Amino acid sequence: MSKPIVAIVGRPNVGKSTLFNKLAGSRISIVQDTPGVTRDRIYAEAEWLNNKFTIIDTGGIELNTEDVILKQMRLQAEIAIDTADVIMFLVDGKEGLTPADKEVAEMLRKSKKPIVLVVNKIDKLKDEMNIYEFYNLGIGEPISISSSQALGLGDMLDEIVKNFKSPGEYEEDSDRIKIAFVGKPNVGKSSLINKLLGEERNIVTDIPGTTRDSIDSYLDTEEGSFTLIDTAGLRRKSKVKEEIERYSVIRTLASVERADVCILMIDAEENISEQDEKIIGYAHDLGKAIMVIVNKWDLIEKDTNTVNEFSRKIQGNLSFMSYAPFLFISAKTGQRVNKVLTIAGKCFTNYSRRISTGILNEVISKAILMNEPPLVGLRRLKILYVTQVSIKPPTFVFFVNDREAIHFSYQRYLENQLRRSFDFEGTGIKLIFREKDKKDV
């Protein structure tokens, strides 16, 4: 990481996510008066007095619990603490010092990381007296804030940046390939990411919908530098009743927007859902690089035709993105997991591909000679020349005599010719038709 990392930790429901959202400047974490709503750690970028840093929101720490989710939340907080350069320990000024606060403080002391003690929910001047009992934690001077009213945040941030190292001591981030893993709940997105990372980075249980937030993890390999985005599983709209689930759908769409490569994960034992088609269709409409992973392949009885039959079945549902490569894996056993980043990296290369104008016009001229544009009414399309104007996705502008003379079948023909002539496997491409003094189509 090129920037300092600040982890916000504390017991459940002390206001960590509200503070995180204030610092990030957007509603990234779920905020609701339900303890344990933020269950994985979430990353965002923040800045104070020209100091750029990464903040991590964590699930509340419950030290003495047998609940499987709460135990894994504690594990996530511990990983965040281990990753952080500075720890922001948040406590509740209204509730006062609790035995759980003392236990968390003891755990934080063992990390030997700089700790900034922050007393939240000091909403009025008369509440200031509430901070003094937190001196008993023995981890420094408490700073009073109200995250909901944005009071005292400046003093808190001043104290945090004091603990940063000099800028030269932080590594420079290389350009990272952002990969969003999308699909229904419980198809194995978190399991695959954990396998790729080689650590228990994301919560994995047999409870569908465990990942409610979109979570970034960072990975550097011989294949390149990646940001792996684990998204919440998408349910049918009729089943999305809780506010939490609605937020998750919105964040999944936002994750697709910022990703370079979108990986649709499918359970080999289940069919593609309508929601799967919609979310990957959204990625297709944006021109993203796309690949499809069929997980839990170890559970399928196979013969020599199984892969081809399964591929044809999926392609029938996803005919609009026939360019997407397929990979059959088992995140549980590790079968073919080593190919995931290789194929995703190739998709990204094609997503970033640029073709010279000369070669491009040569290909299109040959395509026109082989198949002349059809008449549309009394008009026939003439393509004057073509140029590529951008990448991510590769975008081509065709300068033509008359945009009204473009038939959708000929537009598809031109796209197919580009795909046959150049390697655009795994990426969407965009064709824009323009005539002088008129808008694009």
What's the confidence (pLDDT) of residue 369? 93
Confirm if 150 and 125 have CB atoms less than 8 A apart: no
Return the structure tokens found at 105: 């403080």
Q: Which residue has the higher pLDDT, 78 or 370?
A: 370
Round to whole Å and give the CA distance between 327 and 52: 38
Q: Which residues pair with 432 in a beta bridge?
A: 397
Calculated CA dihedral for residues 48, 50, 51, 55, nearest 10 degrees: 50
Confirm if 183 and 294 have CB atoms less than 8 A apart: no
Q: How many C-alpha atoms does 299 have within 13 Å on its Cβ side?
A: 11
Per-residue pLDDT, averaged over 221-236, amounts to 78
Return the structure tokens found at 402: 């008359």
* Mean pLDDT across the chain: 81
What's the confidence (pLDDT) of residue 24? 78
What's the confidence (pLDDT) of residue 40? 47
Round to whole Å and give the CA distance between 323 and 330: 23
Per-residue pLDDT, averaged over 237-255, amounts to 52
pTM for the full predicted model? 0.60
What's the confidence (pLDDT) of residue 292? 95
DSSP structure class, residue 244: H
Per-residue pLDDT, averaged over 31-44, amounts to 50
Domains of the chain, start order: 5-169 (3.40.50.300), 177-351 (3.40.50.300), 357-434 (3.30.300.20)
User: Model confidence over 11-20: pLDDT tens digits?
Assistant: 888 888 888 8
User: Model confidence over 69-115: pLDDT tens digits?
Assistant: 555 556 656 666 776 789 999 999 998 998 888 888 888 888 888 99
Which amino acid is present at 383? I
Round to whole Å and give the CA distance between 391 and 355: 10
Lowest mean pLDDT across 145-149, 165-169, 346-350:
165-169
Contacts 24+ apart (CB under 8 A), 28-32: 28/57, 28/251, 29/57, 29/213, 30/212, 30/213, 30/244, 30/247, 30/248, 32/243, 32/244
Confidence of residue 168 (pLDDT cuts 50, 70, 90): low
Q: Which residue has the higher pLDDT, 341 or 376?
A: 341
Give the phi and the psi of residue 261 in degrees, each rounded to 5: -120, 130
Assign 264 to helix, strand or coil.
strand
DSSP structure class, residue 319: G
